[in-house]
Structure 1
Amino acid sequence: MKAESLRGARLTAEGIEGAVLAQTLLVPDDHHRALLLKGRILSKADWPVVASARVDELHVVRMEQGDVHEDEAARRLAKVVAGPGVIVHGPAESQVRLSAEVNGIFKVDVQRLNALNSIQDVSIFTLFDGQLVSKGKTIAGVKVTPFVVPEARLREAERVAAGGEGVVRVLAFQPLRVAVLVRERLDPAQREKFQASIEMKVAWFGSSISEIRYVADDIGAVEAAVDALLRDADLLLTAGANATDPLDPTLVALDRLGARMEKQGAPAHPGSAVWLAYLTDKPIFGVAACGMFSRATVLDLILPRLFTGSRVTADDFNRLGHGGLLSKDMAFRFPAYGAFDTLDQ
């Protein structure tokens, strides 16, 4: 590209043809109102507006062979950055906006994102990896810094972004049938509160509860209940087991059924005394009953992952340690049970 300053006899309709405007032109008597925005590719038809700005000197950029305008560059980058569950908008003011196509978990390939932003002129910015997002929520922006970039530089960025499932994507929540097994001795008032809480949480993810069953502290009763509940459920939530007691009836019953313990305990607080097992391919997630009432425990970090239909592993639990001190400052990581926030703030 080549920068030019147009003035005098060169500041004409012919002189601006094909040039990229490098400055925003304002209404002469009202500098809060724009006539033409910087980055615009000018044509002779723009001359009356340019003339009305009454400027003595106009800064423009001339595109040369092998140059790509910022709007086209942003469109091309966004095409390879956006993965499943992502909608591309724009560009507006030379920036492409990416939004969530569905309610789900926002995922970022941070390594490739960093590699892209290390390329001169490329600028891609996102929400945090793992954040819950609602349909329509802005999740990322894509742009290049100058008005014009070399084609070779853009191709390098496209090569880095290509492959896989995009640099950013949204894992959609899947409608699951959820069963709940409780060994806690809850009185009628506590049961009512417990059931309302868990039903609200499950419904928030677009799923439904197939059954809530209360059982005695008996290995045989727990074994029979687990076997029966999982016949009609995709996910089993259990409450009341002591994850640190090897002889706990729930843990013994699961062992008898051939379940495999994926992880016991989580490096986070509150809610560290959780566990996850699998019986065939169906997850069984154990928490304390009090965890069902709270809106900010490990339960509420793991549930969204389970509702995407992804297989949650011990490594997913291990990664909770970074940011595992669950204070008010971590509120953005938790489901906003009751309703999605669809506003961009």
Structure 2
Amino acid sequence: MKKIPVKDAVGSVLCHDITQIIPGVVKDIAFKKGHIIKEEDIPLLLSIGKENLFVWEKKEGYLHENDAAERLRACAAGQGLTFSEVKEGKINFIAEYDGLLVINTKLLYELNSLGEIILVTLHNNYPVKKGQKVAGTRVIPLVIDEDKIKKAEALMEQQKIVSILPYVAMKVGIVTTGSEVYHGRIKDAFGPVIRRKVEEYGCEVLGQSILSDDENKITQAVQEWIDKGAEMVICTGGMSVDPDDVTPSAIIKTGAELITYGAPVLPGAMFLLAYKGDIPILGLPGCVMYSRTTIFDLVLPRILAKERLCFADFAAYGHGGLCNECEECKYPDCAFGKGV
């Protein structure tokens, strides 16, 4: 820190706040610590009695907070992000488009463990909207040892911490089973819910097959939708463990690879996911009909972001997988599914 005349301070960095006081009018900070003095600041500084200023003296091996924040942003940010202007060592990360927020939580922990620098984010696997703030970085001291930033850069040399995966709109085929629906005894309630939810992501529903509880016919219907160009097939009905609920076995009979049948999520425990090649086949439990938010809402954005889910992804849902079923649903701005 050094003391210099105000007239010589353009381009220098303030080491302290400067308060402006006009009796009966204002008493507030006119210039904050870390502010870079501009030519137009000089008249105001003189008017509030500042002939000299204490400014940061650039020193080899040390960085100003703003320069350090820019370097943090560059090494931490992946695809799908825009940024606020750097201010007081802080930069906000903003979603460039609708998509799935992906956080490397291990690297995030290691970065924040370095001290004097922070990166805070929304939860991993959060479905975000264009323009939404998703993360923010901040350098704590006004001046930081450059070695600390070099450690952060080395940590993230191979992988980024924050990225947004864009959704890929898919063509969807729906297979609804159940003799009661097939014979018209009750009206299908699954179809409208599924259509609404997938169309919110820009997907096209190719159509819906309504069948009795016949394993062979269900298998055939799933394959027919794939043959017609479906990039995802969603099956409803017959997902419990009752002897006449044959949808899971019918899905497996297509030759698809079973990822999970059952998941530690409530509502949504009797969920099934399988892949036939690259095509996801979902078996939805009955709760999707009547519960506002279920496992379907957790999994659908990840599938549309072209993640290929594995069993471990579902096992991790146990932490945070219990929905409070609030009277007014605020998902995704709540704890549901946020343990992963």
254-263 or 155-164: bigger deviation: 254-263
* Partners of 1:293 and 1:308 in 2: CA distance: 26
Could you report, residue by residue, the CA deviation over 1:96-139 in whole angstroms, capped at 9, with x for unpaired residues? 11111121221111121122122232121111112111111101
Question: How has the CA–CA distance of structure 1 residues 254 and 44 changed in structure 2, closer, same or farther, with 3 Å as cutoff?
Answer: closer
State the Cα RMSD in Å.
2.6
Structure 1 stretches lacking a partner, 5+ long: 337-345
* Partners of 1:255 and 1:19 in 2: CA distance: 68
Query: Which of the numbers 263, 272, 275 marks the counterpart of 1:278?
Result: 275
- Match of residue 56 from structure 2: 61
* Partners of 2:6 and 2:296 in 1: CA distance: 67
Q: Are 1:143 and 2:154 matched, yes or no?
A: no
114-123 or 31-40: bigger deviation: 31-40
* Partners of 2:266 and 2:135 in 1: CA distance: 30
Could you report, residue by residue, the CA deviation over 1:182-204 in whole angstroms, capped at 9, with x for unpaired residues? 0133358733x533322110011
Q: How many matched pairs? A: 327
Q: Are 1:161 and 2:156 matched, yes or no?
A: yes
Identity of aligned residues (%): 28
Query: Which of the numbers 166, 179, 182 marks the counterpart of 2:173?
Result: 179
* Partners of 2:323 and 2:76 in 1: CA distance: 31
* Partners of 2:231 and 2:72 in 1: CA distance: 39
- Match of residue 258 from structure 2: 261
Q: Are 1:203 and 2:199 matched, yes or no?
A: yes
Query: Secondary structure, in 3 states, of the residue corresponding to 1:51?
Result: helix
- Match of residue 86 from structure 1: 81
Q: Are 1:325 and 2:319 matched, yes or no?
A: no
- Match of residue 215 from structure 1: 211
Letter in 2 for 1:273: M
* Partners of 1:261 and 1:246 in 2: CA distance: 20
Q: Are 1:238 and 2:232 matched, yes or no?
A: no
* Partners of 1:43 and 1:251 in 2: CA distance: 69
Could you report, residue by residue, the CA deviation over 1:275-307 in whole angstroms, capped at 9, with x for unpaired residues? 112223211111134414422111211111111
Query: Secondary structure, in 3 states, of the residue corresponding to 1:77?
Result: helix
What TM-score comes out, normalization by structure 1 length? 0.85
Letter in 2 for 1:227: Q
Question: How has the CA–CA distance of structure 1 residues 253 and 335 changed in structure 2, closer, same or farther, with 3 Å as cutoff?
Answer: farther
Letter in 2 for 1:275: L
Structure 2 stretches lacking a partner, 5+ long: 335-340
Question: How has the CA–CA distance of structure 1 residues 238 and 11 changed in structure 2, closer, same or farther, with 3 Å as cutoff?
Answer: same
Query: Secondary structure, in 3 states, of the residue corresponding to 2:84?
Result: strand
Q: Are 1:301 and 2:295 matched, yes or no?
A: no
Query: Secondary structure, in 3 states, of the residue corresponding to 1:21?
Result: coil
Shift of 1:34: 4.3
Asked whether the equivalents of residues 96 and 141 of structure 1 are also in contact (C-alpha less than 8 Å), the reply is yes
Could you report, residue by residue, the CA deviation over 1:14-44 in whole angstroms, capped at 9, with x for unpaired residues? 3x45542123323321445543232123367
Question: How has the CA–CA distance of structure 1 residues 24 and 190 changed in structure 2, closer, same or farther, with 3 Å as cutoff?
Answer: farther
Query: Secondary structure, in 3 states, of the residue corresponding to 1:318?
Result: helix
Asked whether the equivalents of residues 180 and 213 of structure 1 are also in contact (C-alpha less than 8 Å), the reply is yes
Query: Secondary structure, in 3 states, of the residue corresponding to 1:91?
Result: coil
What TM-score comes out, normalization by structure 2 length? 0.86
Question: How has the CA–CA distance of structure 1 residues 286 and 32 changed in structure 2, closer, same or farther, with 3 Å as cutoff?
Answer: farther
Shift of 1:243: 4.1
Asked whether the equivalents of residues 103 and 134 of structure 1 are also in contact (C-alpha less than 8 Å), the reply is yes
325-334 or 69-78: bigger deviation: 325-334
Runs of 4+ in 1 over 6 A off after TM superposition: none
Asked whether the equivalents of residues 240 and 285 of structure 2 are also in contact (C-alpha less than 8 Å), the reply is no
Asked whether the equivalents of residues 28 and 54 of structure 1 are also in contact (C-alpha less than 8 Å), the reply is no
